[in-house]
Amino acid sequence: MSDPTCDAVKIGIVSISDRASTGVYEDKGLPALQDWLTRALKNPISFEPRLIPDEQARISATLIELVNAGCSLVLTTGGTGPALRDVTPEATLAVAHKEMPGFGEQMRQISLKFVPTAILSRQVAVIRDKSLIINLPGQPKSIQETLEGLKDAEGKSIMAGIFAAVPYCVDLIGGPYMETNDEVCKAFRPKSAIRAPKTA
């Protein structure tokens, strides 16, 4: 349930798949992203969803369109492996003003806990204007693991997910103040960057 005292945030979600975009099979990426973000954030969210094929120019154009539309955060899923049609990282880097390599490094560390082939994933994160763009894995389970991190049986964090760093990053590039539901994913900010709660 979103909190009306929180800043409104616009988020672009992009699923990149030749087959899902042509209706060969049902896209699971967009519902997984929307579900997780709705649970993780207290902010009122307006989503800008896109389902597109693995075409580099089309991906780059879609990312630029979402940034220009005012999305503070753009998350993509799919197209990050070594296969010939996997061009999401190239398309993302092509529109970058700054690269943020720590996000991809942490996603691979999380995924390596499950499969040795995680080293084949090429997810990148970049900043364009006042937007943070992050490539996520293609599988809904992997999307949740990389965003949320790993927890033990008692629910204690074993390894932080990448989303813990997203709200502060968005602060630093001039975006809205994003607030998380701690039971899903606790955002980390230095004490000096924590804003006092607003009253309705």
Q: What is the pLDDT of residues 25-72, one digit of tens each?
A: 899 999 999 999 999 999 999 999 999 999 999 999 999 999 999 999
| Residue ranges per structural domain of the chain | 9-193
pLDDT at 83: 95
Task: Look up the CATH number of domain 9-193.
Answer: 3.40.980.10
pLDDT in tens, 67-96: 999 999 999 999 999 999 999 999 999 999
CA–CA separation, 142 vs 122, rounded Å? 14
Nearest-5° Cα angle at 66, 74 to 83: 60
Query: Average pLDDT, stretch 108-112?
Result: 96
Percent of the chain at pLDDT exceeding 90 = 89
Residue 1 has pLDDT above 80, yes or no: no
3-state helix, strand, coil in the chain (%, to 5): 40, 20, 40
* Residue 159 identity: M
Query: pTM here?
Result: 0.96
Residue 8's pLDDT band, with cuts at 50, 70 and 90, is very high
Task: Provide the sign of the torsion angle of the four alpha carbons 81, 83, 88, 94, taken in this order.
Answer: positive
CA–CA separation, 71 vs 11, rounded Å? 5
